[in-house]
Amino acid sequence: MNIKLVEKKVSDINADILIEFLTKDELSGHKEIKTLKSAGFKAEQDSTCFLYEKGVLLCGVDSKKGDDIRSAAACMIKILKSSNYKSAKVIALSKSSLAALVEGIVLGGYEFNEYKSEPKKVTLKSISIASNEPEFSAFETIFKEALIVANATCFTRDIVNRAPQEINPQTLSALAQKLADENSLECTILQEDALAKENMNAMLAVGRASIHGSALIHLAYKPKKPKKVVSLVGKGLTYDSGGLSLKPATSMVTMKMDKAGACAVLGMIKAVSELKLDIEVHAFIGAVENMVGGDAYKPDDVLVSRSKTTIEVRNTDAEGRLVLADVLDYAQDAVSADYIFDFATLTGACMIALGQYTTGLMGHSHKLKHDISRAGSDTGELISSLPFNKHLKKLLKSEIADISNTASKPYGGAITAGLFLDKFIRDENKKKWMHFDIAGSAYTETPWDCNVYGATGSGVRLMCGYLKSL
Protein backbone atom coordinates (compact mmCIF):
# COMPACT_ATOMS: atom_id res chain seq x y z
CA MET A 1 0.00 0.00 0.00
CA ASN A 2 1.32 3.41 -0.98
CA ILE A 3 1.19 6.23 1.58
CA LYS A 4 2.08 9.67 0.31
CA LEU A 5 2.11 13.26 1.54
CA VAL A 6 0.57 15.60 -1.04
CA GLU A 7 0.93 19.40 -1.19
CA LYS A 8 -2.73 20.04 -1.95
CA LYS A 9 -6.02 20.81 -0.30
CA VAL A 10 -7.81 17.60 0.57
CA SER A 11 -10.70 18.67 -1.68
CA ASP A 12 -8.32 18.76 -4.67
CA ILE A 13 -7.25 15.12 -4.23
CA ASN A 14 -9.15 12.47 -6.15
CA ALA A 15 -9.86 9.48 -3.89
CA ASP A 16 -12.69 7.08 -3.14
CA ILE A 17 -12.93 7.83 0.58
CA LEU A 18 -12.41 10.91 2.76
CA ILE A 19 -11.27 10.19 6.33
CA GLU A 20 -12.22 12.62 9.08
CA PHE A 21 -11.16 12.59 12.74
CA LEU A 22 -13.86 14.01 15.02
CA THR A 23 -13.92 14.88 18.72
CA LYS A 24 -17.17 14.91 20.68
CA ASP A 25 -17.09 18.72 20.67
CA GLU A 26 -16.80 18.81 16.88
CA LEU A 27 -19.57 16.26 16.33
CA SER A 28 -22.49 18.61 17.00
CA GLY A 29 -21.35 20.99 14.26
CA HIS A 30 -20.81 18.35 11.59
CA LYS A 31 -22.89 18.77 8.44
CA GLU A 32 -24.00 15.12 8.63
CA ILE A 33 -25.04 15.32 12.29
CA LYS A 34 -28.57 13.95 11.67
CA THR A 35 -27.22 10.87 9.87
CA LEU A 36 -24.53 10.38 12.52
CA LYS A 37 -27.08 10.59 15.33
CA SER A 38 -29.26 8.05 13.56
CA ALA A 39 -26.24 5.76 13.24
CA GLY A 40 -25.53 6.12 16.97
CA PHE A 41 -22.08 7.62 16.37
CA LYS A 42 -20.86 9.52 19.46
CA ALA A 43 -17.27 10.24 18.39
CA GLU A 44 -15.85 8.12 21.20
CA GLN A 45 -12.17 7.22 20.93
CA ASP A 46 -11.54 4.53 18.27
CA SER A 47 -15.18 4.41 17.19
CA THR A 48 -15.96 4.69 13.47
CA CYS A 49 -18.91 5.47 11.23
CA PHE A 50 -18.78 4.73 7.49
CA LEU A 51 -21.07 6.93 5.38
CA TYR A 52 -20.80 4.83 2.24
CA GLU A 53 -23.13 6.95 0.13
CA LYS A 54 -21.10 10.07 0.97
CA GLY A 55 -17.69 8.40 0.60
CA VAL A 56 -16.71 9.45 4.15
CA LEU A 57 -15.22 7.47 7.04
CA LEU A 58 -15.55 9.24 10.39
CA CYS A 59 -13.22 8.30 13.25
CA GLY A 60 -13.85 9.32 16.84
CA VAL A 61 -10.99 10.71 18.92
CA ASP A 62 -10.79 12.09 22.45
CA SER A 63 -8.35 14.73 21.18
CA LYS A 64 -6.21 15.60 18.17
CA LYS A 65 -3.04 14.65 20.08
CA GLY A 66 -0.67 12.04 18.69
CA ASP A 67 -1.63 9.10 20.92
CA ASP A 68 -5.33 9.43 20.10
CA ILE A 69 -4.73 9.95 16.38
CA ARG A 70 -2.38 6.93 16.22
CA SER A 71 -4.90 4.63 17.85
CA ALA A 72 -7.83 5.90 15.75
CA ALA A 73 -5.81 5.65 12.53
CA ALA A 74 -5.04 2.00 13.34
CA CYS A 75 -8.78 1.29 13.67
CA MET A 76 -9.48 3.24 10.47
CA ILE A 77 -6.98 1.34 8.34
CA LYS A 78 -8.40 -2.03 9.37
CA ILE A 79 -11.84 -0.97 8.15
CA LEU A 80 -10.48 0.39 4.87
CA LYS A 81 -8.49 -2.77 4.22
CA SER A 82 -11.63 -4.87 4.61
CA SER A 83 -13.52 -2.69 2.11
CA ASN A 84 -13.40 -2.71 -1.69
CA TYR A 85 -12.23 0.89 -2.02
CA LYS A 86 -8.91 1.52 -3.76
CA SER A 87 -7.93 4.94 -2.40
CA ALA A 88 -8.46 7.25 0.56
CA LYS A 89 -7.45 10.74 1.61
CA VAL A 90 -7.04 12.52 4.94
CA ILE A 91 -5.86 15.92 6.16
CA ALA A 92 -2.53 16.22 7.98
CA LEU A 93 -3.94 17.84 11.11
CA SER A 94 -0.69 19.20 12.56
CA LYS A 95 3.05 18.68 12.64
CA SER A 96 2.78 17.27 16.15
CA SER A 97 0.32 14.53 15.14
CA LEU A 98 1.58 13.71 11.62
CA ALA A 99 4.08 11.03 12.74
CA ALA A 100 1.36 9.37 14.84
CA LEU A 101 -1.00 9.36 11.84
CA VAL A 102 1.63 7.65 9.67
CA GLU A 103 2.43 5.11 12.41
CA GLY A 104 -1.24 4.36 12.94
CA ILE A 105 -1.72 3.64 9.24
CA VAL A 106 1.46 1.59 8.73
CA LEU A 107 1.54 -0.30 12.02
CA GLY A 108 -2.22 -0.70 12.40
CA GLY A 109 -2.43 -2.01 8.84
CA TYR A 110 0.44 -4.48 9.29
CA GLU A 111 -0.27 -8.16 8.66
CA PHE A 112 2.04 -11.18 8.77
CA ASN A 113 0.63 -13.55 6.17
CA GLU A 114 3.73 -15.39 4.94
CA TYR A 115 2.56 -18.76 6.25
CA LYS A 116 -0.98 -18.45 4.86
CA SER A 117 -1.60 -20.63 1.82
CA GLU A 118 -4.12 -18.09 0.54
CA PRO A 119 -3.39 -14.61 1.98
CA LYS A 120 -6.34 -12.24 2.01
CA LYS A 121 -6.22 -9.82 -0.92
CA VAL A 122 -6.48 -6.12 -0.11
CA THR A 123 -8.12 -3.75 -2.60
CA LEU A 124 -6.84 -0.57 -0.94
CA LYS A 125 -3.81 0.70 -2.88
CA SER A 126 -3.11 4.23 -1.67
CA ILE A 127 -3.70 6.77 1.09
CA SER A 128 -2.98 10.43 0.42
CA ILE A 129 -2.25 12.77 3.32
CA ALA A 130 -3.05 16.33 2.33
CA SER A 131 -1.09 19.33 3.57
CA ASN A 132 -1.53 22.81 2.16
CA GLU A 133 0.50 24.55 4.84
CA PRO A 134 3.13 27.22 4.02
CA GLU A 135 5.73 25.11 5.88
CA PHE A 136 5.16 22.02 3.74
CA SER A 137 8.86 21.11 3.81
CA ALA A 138 8.67 20.64 7.59
CA PHE A 139 5.66 18.34 7.17
CA GLU A 140 7.58 16.45 4.47
CA THR A 141 10.57 15.88 6.78
CA ILE A 142 8.33 14.57 9.58
CA PHE A 143 6.46 12.33 7.11
CA LYS A 144 9.64 10.78 5.67
CA GLU A 145 11.16 10.16 9.10
CA ALA A 146 7.93 8.64 10.46
CA LEU A 147 7.72 6.31 7.46
CA ILE A 148 11.32 5.14 8.00
CA VAL A 149 10.69 4.40 11.69
CA ALA A 150 7.34 2.70 11.04
CA ASN A 151 8.84 0.51 8.32
CA ALA A 152 11.77 -0.40 10.60
CA THR A 153 9.22 -1.41 13.24
CA CYS A 154 7.47 -3.64 10.69
CA PHE A 155 10.88 -5.07 9.72
CA THR A 156 11.37 -5.99 13.38
CA ARG A 157 7.89 -7.49 13.61
CA ASP A 158 8.53 -9.64 10.54
CA ILE A 159 11.61 -11.29 12.06
CA VAL A 160 10.00 -11.88 15.46
CA ASN A 161 6.93 -13.40 13.81
CA ARG A 162 8.92 -15.90 11.77
CA ALA A 163 8.70 -19.48 12.96
CA PRO A 164 11.59 -21.03 14.94
CA GLN A 165 12.34 -23.58 12.23
CA GLU A 166 13.11 -20.60 9.97
CA ILE A 167 14.98 -18.28 12.35
CA ASN A 168 17.84 -19.82 14.30
CA PRO A 169 21.18 -18.26 15.33
CA GLN A 170 22.72 -18.91 11.92
CA THR A 171 19.82 -17.64 9.80
CA LEU A 172 19.51 -14.61 12.09
CA SER A 173 23.21 -13.95 11.43
CA ALA A 174 22.60 -14.20 7.68
CA LEU A 175 19.70 -11.78 7.97
CA ALA A 176 21.92 -9.31 9.87
CA GLN A 177 24.58 -9.62 7.17
CA LYS A 178 21.94 -8.91 4.50
CA LEU A 179 20.83 -5.78 6.38
CA ALA A 180 24.46 -4.68 6.64
CA ASP A 181 24.97 -5.11 2.91
CA GLU A 182 21.80 -3.20 2.03
CA ASN A 183 22.38 -0.31 4.48
CA SER A 184 26.18 -0.03 4.21
CA LEU A 185 26.81 -1.16 7.79
CA GLU A 186 29.90 -2.87 9.14
CA CYS A 187 29.22 -6.46 10.16
CA THR A 188 31.22 -8.89 12.28
CA ILE A 189 29.91 -12.32 13.26
CA LEU A 190 31.64 -14.46 15.86
CA GLN A 191 30.89 -18.15 15.55
CA GLU A 192 31.39 -20.69 18.33
CA ASP A 193 35.17 -21.12 17.88
CA ALA A 194 35.62 -17.36 18.19
CA LEU A 195 33.22 -17.24 21.15
CA ALA A 196 35.29 -19.92 22.89
CA LYS A 197 38.46 -17.87 22.33
CA GLU A 198 36.65 -14.90 23.90
CA ASN A 199 35.80 -17.12 26.90
CA MET A 200 32.07 -16.50 26.43
CA ASN A 201 31.27 -19.64 28.38
CA ALA A 202 27.93 -18.50 29.81
CA MET A 203 26.55 -17.80 26.34
CA LEU A 204 27.99 -21.01 24.91
CA ALA A 205 26.48 -23.09 27.72
CA VAL A 206 22.96 -21.89 26.92
CA GLY A 207 23.23 -22.95 23.27
CA ARG A 208 25.12 -26.18 23.86
CA ALA A 209 22.17 -28.56 23.30
CA SER A 210 21.05 -26.93 20.05
CA ILE A 211 22.01 -28.27 16.62
CA HIS A 212 22.40 -24.63 15.56
CA GLY A 213 25.66 -22.99 16.58
CA SER A 214 25.45 -19.83 18.69
CA ALA A 215 26.76 -16.56 17.27
CA LEU A 216 27.54 -13.02 18.36
CA ILE A 217 26.50 -10.42 15.78
CA HIS A 218 28.04 -6.95 15.74
CA LEU A 219 26.69 -4.34 13.31
CA ALA A 220 28.03 -0.79 13.21
CA TYR A 221 26.75 2.45 11.69
CA LYS A 222 29.52 5.06 11.60
CA PRO A 223 28.79 8.58 10.30
CA LYS A 224 31.79 10.84 9.66
CA LYS A 225 31.44 13.15 12.67
CA PRO A 226 29.23 11.46 15.27
CA LYS A 227 27.96 13.53 18.18
CA LYS A 228 27.57 10.47 20.39
CA VAL A 229 28.42 6.75 20.37
CA VAL A 230 25.69 4.33 21.44
CA SER A 231 25.86 0.57 21.98
CA LEU A 232 22.61 -1.40 21.64
CA VAL A 233 22.60 -4.95 22.98
CA GLY A 234 19.84 -7.43 22.13
CA LYS A 235 18.87 -10.78 23.59
CA GLY A 236 18.53 -13.14 20.60
CA LEU A 237 17.05 -16.37 21.93
CA THR A 238 15.68 -17.62 18.62
CA TYR A 239 13.74 -20.20 20.63
CA ASP A 240 13.55 -20.85 24.35
CA SER A 241 12.30 -24.25 25.49
CA GLY A 242 13.48 -23.48 29.02
CA GLY A 243 16.25 -26.07 28.71
CA LEU A 244 16.24 -28.82 31.34
CA SER A 245 14.08 -26.52 33.52
CA LEU A 246 11.50 -27.13 30.82
CA LYS A 247 8.70 -24.63 30.35
CA PRO A 248 5.10 -25.85 30.60
CA ALA A 249 3.62 -26.61 27.18
CA THR A 250 1.35 -23.56 27.18
CA SER A 251 4.24 -21.26 28.15
CA MET A 252 6.40 -22.62 25.34
CA VAL A 253 3.94 -21.43 22.68
CA THR A 254 5.00 -17.95 21.41
CA MET A 255 8.60 -18.48 22.57
CA LYS A 256 9.71 -17.55 19.06
CA MET A 257 9.31 -14.03 20.48
CA ASP A 258 12.28 -14.50 22.83
CA LYS A 259 14.43 -13.01 20.06
CA ALA A 260 12.47 -9.73 20.14
CA GLY A 261 15.28 -7.79 21.83
CA ALA A 262 17.72 -8.76 19.07
CA CYS A 263 15.16 -7.99 16.37
CA ALA A 264 14.43 -4.59 17.91
CA VAL A 265 18.13 -3.76 17.87
CA LEU A 266 18.27 -4.68 14.17
CA GLY A 267 15.26 -2.44 13.51
CA MET A 268 16.87 0.42 15.42
CA ILE A 269 20.14 0.37 13.50
CA LYS A 270 18.22 0.03 10.22
CA ALA A 271 16.19 3.14 11.04
CA VAL A 272 19.19 5.13 12.30
CA SER A 273 21.17 4.41 9.14
CA GLU A 274 18.23 5.45 6.93
CA LEU A 275 17.53 8.57 9.01
CA LYS A 276 21.25 9.34 8.62
CA LEU A 277 21.55 10.49 12.24
CA ASP A 278 24.88 11.90 13.41
CA ILE A 279 25.07 9.17 16.05
CA GLU A 280 27.49 6.24 15.83
CA VAL A 281 25.49 3.12 16.67
CA HIS A 282 26.76 -0.37 17.44
CA ALA A 283 24.33 -3.30 17.63
CA PHE A 284 25.45 -6.39 19.55
CA ILE A 285 23.29 -9.52 19.47
CA GLY A 286 23.71 -12.80 21.31
CA ALA A 287 22.03 -15.30 18.98
CA VAL A 288 21.37 -18.58 20.79
CA GLU A 289 18.81 -21.40 20.91
CA ASN A 290 18.02 -22.90 24.34
CA MET A 291 17.13 -26.55 23.81
CA VAL A 292 17.07 -29.91 25.61
CA GLY A 293 19.58 -32.69 24.94
CA GLY A 294 22.33 -34.85 26.38
CA ASP A 295 24.71 -31.90 26.15
CA ALA A 296 22.39 -29.36 27.78
CA TYR A 297 23.67 -27.22 30.60
CA LYS A 298 22.14 -28.11 33.94
CA PRO A 299 20.89 -26.65 37.21
CA ASP A 300 23.87 -26.85 39.63
CA ASP A 301 26.39 -26.10 36.88
CA VAL A 302 28.85 -23.31 37.64
CA LEU A 303 29.73 -21.22 34.58
CA VAL A 304 32.76 -18.98 34.21
CA SER A 305 31.63 -15.93 32.23
CA ARG A 306 33.77 -13.80 29.93
CA SER A 307 34.34 -11.32 32.78
CA LYS A 308 35.58 -14.26 34.90
CA THR A 309 32.58 -13.86 37.20
CA THR A 310 31.38 -17.33 38.22
CA ILE A 311 27.66 -18.06 37.96
CA GLU A 312 25.72 -20.79 39.77
CA VAL A 313 22.92 -22.07 37.54
CA ARG A 314 19.76 -22.68 39.52
CA ASN A 315 17.34 -22.54 36.60
CA THR A 316 18.16 -23.09 32.92
CA ASP A 317 15.10 -21.04 31.94
CA ALA A 318 16.86 -17.95 33.30
CA GLU A 319 19.08 -18.15 30.22
CA GLY A 320 18.75 -14.72 28.62
CA ARG A 321 20.69 -13.05 31.39
CA LEU A 322 23.52 -15.56 30.94
CA VAL A 323 23.77 -14.67 27.24
CA LEU A 324 23.59 -10.94 27.96
CA ALA A 325 26.24 -11.21 30.69
CA ASP A 326 28.84 -12.23 28.10
CA VAL A 327 27.58 -9.97 25.31
CA LEU A 328 27.50 -6.90 27.57
CA ASP A 329 31.05 -7.64 28.70
CA TYR A 330 32.19 -8.05 25.09
CA ALA A 331 30.43 -4.84 24.01
CA GLN A 332 32.17 -2.80 26.71
CA ASP A 333 35.56 -3.97 25.42
CA ALA A 334 34.67 -3.55 21.75
CA VAL A 335 33.35 0.02 21.93
CA SER A 336 33.88 2.99 24.21
CA ALA A 337 30.27 4.17 24.16
CA ASP A 338 28.52 7.19 25.66
CA TYR A 339 25.46 5.02 26.30
CA ILE A 340 24.83 1.27 26.58
CA PHE A 341 21.24 0.06 26.23
CA ASP A 342 20.16 -3.57 26.35
CA PHE A 343 16.78 -4.89 25.19
CA ALA A 344 15.45 -8.26 26.27
CA THR A 345 12.27 -10.26 26.75
CA LEU A 346 13.84 -11.09 30.07
CA THR A 347 11.17 -11.82 32.69
CA GLY A 348 7.52 -12.71 33.00
CA ALA A 349 7.78 -10.88 36.32
CA CYS A 350 8.01 -7.57 34.44
CA MET A 351 4.64 -8.27 32.84
CA ILE A 352 3.16 -9.09 36.24
CA ALA A 353 4.54 -5.83 37.65
CA LEU A 354 3.64 -3.48 34.79
CA GLY A 355 1.13 -5.27 32.59
CA GLN A 356 1.60 -6.39 29.01
CA TYR A 357 1.70 -2.91 27.47
CA THR A 358 4.62 -1.37 29.34
CA THR A 359 8.40 -1.75 29.06
CA GLY A 360 10.35 -1.95 32.32
CA LEU A 361 13.28 0.48 32.52
CA MET A 362 16.15 -0.14 34.95
CA GLY A 363 19.48 1.52 35.62
CA HIS A 364 21.37 3.91 37.88
CA SER A 365 21.04 7.30 36.14
CA HIS A 366 17.85 9.15 37.05
CA LYS A 367 18.53 11.75 34.35
CA LEU A 368 18.89 9.09 31.66
CA LYS A 369 15.67 7.43 32.83
CA HIS A 370 13.87 10.77 32.62
CA ASP A 371 15.19 11.55 29.12
CA ILE A 372 14.24 8.11 27.81
CA SER A 373 10.80 8.24 29.43
CA ARG A 374 10.16 11.61 27.78
CA ALA A 375 11.10 10.14 24.39
CA GLY A 376 8.75 7.26 25.11
CA SER A 377 5.81 9.56 25.76
CA ASP A 378 6.49 11.38 22.47
CA THR A 379 6.62 8.12 20.46
CA GLY A 380 3.63 6.40 22.06
CA GLU A 381 5.62 3.61 23.73
CA LEU A 382 4.80 3.08 27.40
CA ILE A 383 7.71 2.87 29.86
CA SER A 384 7.91 2.60 33.61
CA SER A 385 10.96 2.63 35.84
CA LEU A 386 11.62 -0.21 38.26
CA PRO A 387 13.98 0.73 41.13
CA PHE A 388 17.12 -1.15 42.09
CA ASN A 389 17.75 -1.69 45.79
CA LYS A 390 20.40 -3.39 47.92
CA HIS A 391 17.96 -5.77 49.60
CA LEU A 392 16.85 -7.42 46.35
CA LYS A 393 20.49 -7.62 45.29
CA LYS A 394 21.17 -9.90 48.28
CA LEU A 395 18.75 -12.49 46.82
CA LEU A 396 21.28 -13.28 44.04
CA LYS A 397 23.90 -14.43 46.55
CA SER A 398 25.40 -17.85 45.84
CA GLU A 399 27.12 -19.98 48.45
CA ILE A 400 29.38 -21.65 45.86
CA ALA A 401 29.91 -19.01 43.13
CA ASP A 402 30.10 -15.24 42.70
CA ILE A 403 26.42 -14.93 41.82
CA SER A 404 23.33 -17.05 41.18
CA ASN A 405 21.37 -16.77 37.94
CA THR A 406 18.05 -16.64 39.84
CA ALA A 407 16.97 -15.05 43.10
CA SER A 408 16.42 -17.10 46.23
CA LYS A 409 12.88 -15.68 46.62
CA PRO A 410 10.21 -15.27 43.91
CA TYR A 411 9.67 -11.56 44.45
CA GLY A 412 10.83 -8.60 42.39
CA GLY A 413 11.86 -10.95 39.61
CA ALA A 414 12.25 -8.28 36.93
CA ILE A 415 14.46 -6.18 39.20
CA THR A 416 16.64 -9.08 40.36
CA ALA A 417 17.20 -9.99 36.67
CA GLY A 418 18.25 -6.39 36.03
CA LEU A 419 20.54 -6.51 39.07
CA PHE A 420 22.10 -9.70 37.70
CA LEU A 421 22.99 -7.82 34.49
CA ASP A 422 24.27 -4.90 36.56
CA LYS A 423 26.95 -7.26 37.94
CA PHE A 424 28.49 -7.30 34.44
CA ILE A 425 28.44 -3.53 33.89
CA ARG A 426 31.76 -1.96 34.86
CA ASP A 427 31.84 0.85 37.40
CA GLU A 428 32.80 3.47 34.82
CA ASN A 429 29.75 2.53 32.72
CA LYS A 430 27.10 2.26 35.46
CA LYS A 431 25.60 5.71 34.72
CA LYS A 432 25.71 5.09 30.95
CA TRP A 433 23.73 1.84 31.00
CA MET A 434 20.00 1.18 30.86
CA HIS A 435 18.19 -2.16 30.77
CA PHE A 436 14.84 -2.47 28.94
CA ASP A 437 12.70 -5.48 29.84
CA ILE A 438 10.28 -5.83 26.90
CA ALA A 439 8.81 -9.20 27.92
CA GLY A 440 5.28 -7.79 28.09
CA SER A 441 5.40 -5.16 25.36
CA ALA A 442 7.16 -7.12 22.59
CA TYR A 443 4.37 -9.52 21.66
CA THR A 444 0.59 -9.55 21.96
CA GLU A 445 -2.19 -12.00 21.24
CA THR A 446 -4.79 -9.27 21.73
CA PRO A 447 -4.54 -6.23 19.39
CA TRP A 448 -4.18 -2.86 21.14
CA ASP A 449 -3.39 0.68 19.96
CA CYS A 450 -1.45 0.31 16.68
CA ASN A 451 -0.34 -3.22 17.56
CA VAL A 452 -1.92 -6.17 15.78
CA TYR A 453 -1.67 -9.86 16.72
CA GLY A 454 1.96 -10.98 17.15
CA ALA A 455 5.12 -8.95 17.41
CA THR A 456 4.82 -5.24 18.21
CA GLY A 457 8.34 -4.06 17.36
CA SER A 458 8.63 -2.69 20.89
CA GLY A 459 11.60 -0.40 21.46
CA VAL A 460 12.19 0.73 17.87
CA ARG A 461 10.05 3.89 17.94
CA LEU A 462 11.20 4.65 21.48
CA MET A 463 14.91 4.42 20.74
CA CYS A 464 14.64 6.26 17.41
CA GLY A 465 12.90 9.09 19.23
CA TYR A 466 15.56 9.16 21.91
CA LEU A 467 18.50 9.01 19.50
CA LYS A 468 17.01 11.81 17.38
CA SER A 469 16.85 13.93 20.54
CA LEU A 470 20.61 13.55 21.01
pLDDT in tens, 416-443: 999 999 999 999 999 999 999 999 999 9
| Residue 31 annotated in active site | no
Verify that 190 and 124 share a domain, yes or no.
Answer: no
Residue 329: the pLDDT is: 98
**Confidence (pTM):** 0.97
| Residue 222 annotated in active site | no
Sequence length of the chain is 470
CB atoms within 10 A of CB 373: 18
Residue 133: the pLDDT is: 85
368-381 confidence digits (pLDDT tens) = 999 999 998 889 99
Q: Point out the catalytic residue in the list 89, 259, 306, 321.
A: 321
370: in domain: yes
Verify that 79 and 11 share a domain, yes or no.
Answer: yes
Residue 25 has pLDDT above 90, yes or no: yes
Residue 120: the pLDDT is: 86
Verify that 127 and 83 share a domain, yes or no.
Answer: yes
Q: Point out the catalytic residue in the list 247, 314, 393, 423.
A: 247
Q: Which range is least confidently modeled, 128-137, 240-249, 325-334?
A: 128-137
Verify that 137 and 170 share a domain, yes or no.
Answer: no
Residue 256: the pLDDT is: 98
154: in domain: no
155: in domain: no
Give the end of a domain, one of 149, 173, 194.
Answer: 149
- Residue pair 280/219 in contact (Cβ under 8 Å)? The answer is no
Rounded to whole angstroms, how far apart are CA atoms 96 and 98? 6
245-297 confidence digits (pLDDT tens) = 999 999 999 999 999 999 999 999 999 999 999 999 999 999 999 999 999 99
Residue 378: the pLDDT is: 87
Phi-psi region at 440: left, alpha or beta (left = phi > 0; alpha = psi -120 to 50): alpha
Average pLDDT over all residues of the chain: 97
Verify that 202 and 341 share a domain, yes or no.
Answer: yes
Residue 376: the pLDDT is: 86
CATH code of the domain in which 26 resides: 3.40.220.10
CATH code of the domain in which 194 resides: 3.40.630.10
Selection from 284, 269, 264, 267 nearest residue 217 by Cα = 284
Residue 185 has pLDDT above 90, yes or no: yes
Residue 288: the pLDDT is: 98
Verify that 43 and 170 share a domain, yes or no.
Answer: no
427: Cβ contacts below 8 Å, ≥ 6 apart: none
Verify that 68 and 191 share a domain, yes or no.
Answer: no
Full residue range of the structural domain in which residue 309 is found: 164-469
Average the pLDDT over 329-335 and give the result.
98
Q: What is the DSSP annotation of 46-73?
A: T-EEEETTTTEEEEE-S-SSHHHHHHHH
Verify that 117 and 197 share a domain, yes or no.
Answer: no
Verify that 131 and 190 share a domain, yes or no.
Answer: no
For the chain, what percent of residues have pLDDT higher than 70? 100
Q: Report in angstroms the alpha-carbon separations of 122 from 19, 83, 85, 111, 128.
A: 18, 8, 9, 11, 17
Verify that 246 and 342 share a domain, yes or no.
Answer: yes
460-469 confidence digits (pLDDT tens) = 999 999 999 9
129-140 confidence digits (pLDDT tens) = 999 888 999 999
